[in-house]
A and B are shown apart, each in its own frame.
Chain A
Amino acid sequence: MLAIFKREFCAYFHTMTGYVFLAFLFVVVGVYFTAYNLGYGYPLIGYTLASAAFTMLITTPMLSMRVLAEERRQKVDQLLLTSPVPVYQIVLGKFLAMAAMFAVPVLVFCLYPVILSAYGSLSFAQSYTSLLGFYLMGCACLAIGLYISSVTENQVIAAVGSFGVLVLFYLMSGLESLIPTTAAASFLAFTILLLVICYIIYQLMKSLLVPLAVCAAGEAVLVMIYVADAAVYEGAVQKVMSMFDLSSRFGDFTGAVLDLTSVVYFLTVIAAGVFLTIQSIQKRRWS
């Protein structure tokens, strides 16, 4: 695992990727820092980080796009998968290398509150809470990018795919408000979701029996809940969507609130990304 971690981390500096990544983050966050904190004298860094959060949509796919896709295209994965290292260690090694790479700019940003403290008093606890949130959100984005990189051989598709998914998650709170909260609308949305899931099962299994059974059983449950207590459906789609709402969770941190559920939320996203990546590599070996 350590070997893979070292190789991946160094690889960012063998190519331009690492330097471009660092330069981009330093410039954008630096500009906001100069404008808000140094220019207007705003003491908290959370506001700066929240404004600069959009950079993650571009920078994290930069780190994650190559990580598995390119390797598969060049067939270097043959070396890793035939060496006496279990798949989970390969994936973890790669993820930790990305996380370490993302830690580099965050550690530099950790100096910002120190710089600001020279000009007046500020709460270090609040500042570092925001920075922790910034780092966790970055790692969550990297985990999502890691998974997307594992399903394709083309790093451009991996980058665009990760960017698309991250934009969707980033705008999730806005999208939630577009969808009606009535019970009927939610019921309809879940029915459509069920049909999509059944279609995917059908594509995977190529037999009609199981997806039809799942579809019938699922729909029966949905109808029963609707008949029994339609109020359950009110706003239910929004609840599901908010599960993918990364930016409001990040908002907690930049508001200088260290909410344990948000920390757990980001760690869960990271764990899910790593787990799905391991599964997707295993699946490819078996199919």
Chain B
Amino acid sequence: MIEVKDLVKSYGGNVAVDHLNVTIEKGKIYGFLGPNGAGKSTTMNIMTGYVASTSGTVIIDGHDILEEPEEAKKNIGYLPEVPPLYMDMSPFEQLMFAAELKKIPKKERQGQVEEAMTRTQIVDVADRLNKHLSKGYRQRVGLAQALLGNPDILILDEPTAGLDPLQIIEIRDLIKRLGKDHTVILSSHILSEVSAVCDYVLIISRGKLVAEDSPERLGSLMGAGQELKVTVKESRNRAESLLRSIPDVKEIRLYTEGWKEEGCCQFLVCAKENADIREAIFFKMAENKVPLLGMERVSKSLEEVFLELTEEESREKEASKHAGNL
């Protein structure tokens, strides 16, 4: 559906997108995740043909965005970071204008505009001026605009930015519904949003793709091996040495000591890859008459994965910078 190959965009000496390769398949909701300034918006702007890439290609349904822009753009509905609305027009006029721009036949225009307005629930404000609308409504008008012409691909740049919690839920539901018959790409720096809405997550940091997978698998992928939170009623040293004597244990970290209950310790125990150490821990503690008060599996949230990946990246960069100084 969309193929992004070796995409590079530099502004002066500043590299915003750095050899990015992405393949987007039909009928899924994709999430571009990354900290501010990671190159999400730039990538989207290149994919929609608003700016040209320094090198690399974007192919949409077999059409190169730079060589056959008209054909390629027909398949895309784009909602940029700031909804592109004329402040001197009303949502209805704006959408009629956008429908004409998108070359929707005159007969279908009114019908399509009305449908888009119903789907985004802006019928009530259709005749107010855009400049009098709140951020949330502007966002919806922008979304309605992207929906016009029923494009196969919807590219939404931070669609929930600046909305109130209720509106965020509404827009998310709408995006989920849209995901049934459109391919949706959305960007966000809010992790809970991406894991709630998207089928597939692409984590971008400093213009590079650092990880891609489904949100669930990304979580388990990063925490290779089991991670358990173990609470025992024993002194720290003895408990630690007991845990260490279990063969498949890779790493032990003290979580809390004397917290909640007197004389208890809580450890974070990491197992070696694919090993299940829960029974081993239980029997070890039972043999030595150490009361095991709790054992809980910890799976990494997308949040942690994200931080780990983006921090790793910046640490590497730091390291290579220092190496260069030497």
Contact = CB atoms under 8 A, between A and B. Distances in A.
Given A82-B48, A82-B49, A285-B50, A74 B97 contact: no
A205 to B, nearest CB: 13
A84 B102 contact: yes
Nearest to A79: B84
B296 interface: no
B25 interface: no
A285 B52 contact: yes
B91 to A, nearest CB: 14
A207 interface: no
Size band of the B side of the interface?
A: 20 to 34
Given A83-B98, A83-B102, A285-B51, A78 B84 contact: yes
15 contacts: A2-B100, A3-B101, A4-B101, A14-B89, A15-B88, A75-B81, A75-B84, A76-B84, A76-B86, A78-B45, A79-B101, A79-B145, A82-B48, A82-B80, A85-B70
Interface string B96-114: 0110111100000000000
A40 interface: no
A174 interface: no
B74 to A, nearest CB: 5
A239 interface: no
Contacts of B264: none
A81 B46 CA distance: 11
A84 B98 contact: no
B147 to A, nearest CB: 14
B169 interface: no
Q: List the 6 closest pairs (A to B, CB-CB), nearest first.
A: A3-B100, A79-B84, A14-B88, A83-B101, A82-B48, A84-B73
Interface in B62-78: 69-71, 73-74, 76, 78
B85 interface: yes
Main secondary structure of the interface of A (DSSP, over half): helix
Contact of A74 (B45, B69, B70, B87): B87
Nearest to B103: A84
Contacts of A286: 51-52
Most A CB within 10 A of own CB, among B82, B84, B87: B84
A11 interface: yes
B31 to A, nearest CB: 21
B69 A84 contact: yes
Interface string A1-12: 011101100010
Interface in A10-25: 11, 14-15
Interface string B167-182: 0000000000000000
Contacts of B45: 78
Contacts of A85: 70, 101
Given A82-B73, A82-B76, A86-B69, A11 B50 contact: no
A81 B50 contact: yes
Contacts of B98: 79, 83
A96 to B, nearest CB: 15
Interface residues of A, number: 24
A66 B300 CA distance: 52
B101 A77 contact: no
A15 B86 CA distance: 12
Interface in A125-142: none
Most buried by B among A3, A4, A80: A3
A83 B82 CA distance: 16
Nearest to B54: A286
A15 B85 CA distance: 16
Contacts of A84: 69-71, 73-74, 101-103
A63 B88 CA distance: 16
B88 A11 contact: yes
Contact of B78 (A6, A76, A78, A86): A78
A82 B70 contact: no
Nearest to A85: B101
Contact of A77 (B84, B88, B100): B84
Contacts of B80: 75, 78, 82
Given A79-B84, A80-B101, A82-B80, 6 more contacts: A3-B100, A15-B88, A84-B74, A86-B69, A285-B50, A286-B51
A82 B103 contact: no
Interface string A251-287: 0000000000000000000000000000000000111
B69 A83 contact: no
A11 B100 CA distance: 16
Interface string A64-93: 000000000011111111111110000000
A11 B76 contact: no
Interface in A72-125: 74-86
A109 to B, nearest CB: 28
